[in-house]
Amino acid sequence: MRVDAVKPNEYNRIRVEPLTGSIGAEIANVDLRELDDELIAELQDAWMAHKVLFFRDQHLSQAEHVAYGRALGELEIHPFAPNVDDHPEILVLESTAENFYAAETWHSDVTFRECPPLGSVLIGRIVPPYGGDTCFANMEMAYERLPDDVKEQIDGRFAIHSYVKAFGRHMSERKRAEAAEQYPDQKHPIVRTHPVTGRQSLYVNRIFTLTIDGMTPDESRSLRQRLYDEASRPEYQCRFRWRPESTAQWDNRCTQHYAVPDHGGMHRRMERVTLIGDRPF
């Protein structure tokens, strides 16, 4: 079913409660451990319509987390970040007072790959009593609202994406060379077309985009800053407050996200499975 044919709450099995007029919806009346074809189809329709889905009180084991991800598509293993030993598909995102971590920059995941992820399912395993929210932004809206002259400037252009800024800084020279051979820089369109909905979205991000192909460094820097600023406008966003066993599922092809590092060093552990995507066009 095309997304445009789905109207809010026209579902048989699930209840959909939008978070904002731009992006995100909380899904009720569902247990992600009990799946069938009709339920998966309704969740897919809601996902394409709202781009990010949120679920409360989903008591998924790690094996059930992997099983739900596989119901949506084939899973990948992150090339650099730590995984769960028994379930290598699960990426661990953990922060403590001794080792504070947060992805506090707007980004889409792993865009340095030839085929970046389709999307992800993230579960809050250990959640601080306050802080540590995650924000999500609608990149279709960010593109749609660009001035016409900027749209003309980026039409048909490509950006270069690399792992270096995010993961290469702490590698030895030998490790960087090995990683560069395995994950060479990728050239992706600045304006990406969604393979399901056909909608266009802005597809550059601060973490992985190095430069714009065919531009001087100054030209590239100026244009990228203009696009990054547009991508981070509050009116394109929603903000999710985590509780233990809450779950977020986002479409990596048309969104960006930002983990807010305001939980004061308290323990926060998130676990994520990530779906293999296709080459952007």
C-alpha–C-alpha distance, residues 62 and 33, integer Å: 11
Q: What separation, in Å, do the N-terminal and C-terminal C-alpha atoms of the chain show?
A: 21
- Catalytic positions: 107, 109, 257, 272
Scored b (16 or more CB within 10 A) or e, 180-208 reads eeebeebebbbbbebeebebbbbbbbbbb
Which SS3 state, helix, strand or coil, does residue 237 take? strand
d(Cα 152, Cα 18) in Å, to the nearest integer? 32
Amino acid at position 135, single letter:
C
Whole-angstrom distance, CA of residue 133 vs CA of residue 263: 9
- 191 sits in the region (left: phi over 0; alpha: psi -120 to 50; else beta) called beta
Planar angle of CA 118, 188, 2, nearest 5 degrees: 45
Is the Cα dihedral 69, 74, 3, 278 positive or negative?
A: positive
What is the Rg, in whole angstroms, of the alpha carbon atoms belonging to the chain? 18
Angle between helices 62-72 and 37-50 (to 10 degrees): 80
CA distance 66 to 43: 17
Q: Where are the beta strands (DSSP E) in 105-147?
A: 119-126, 134-138
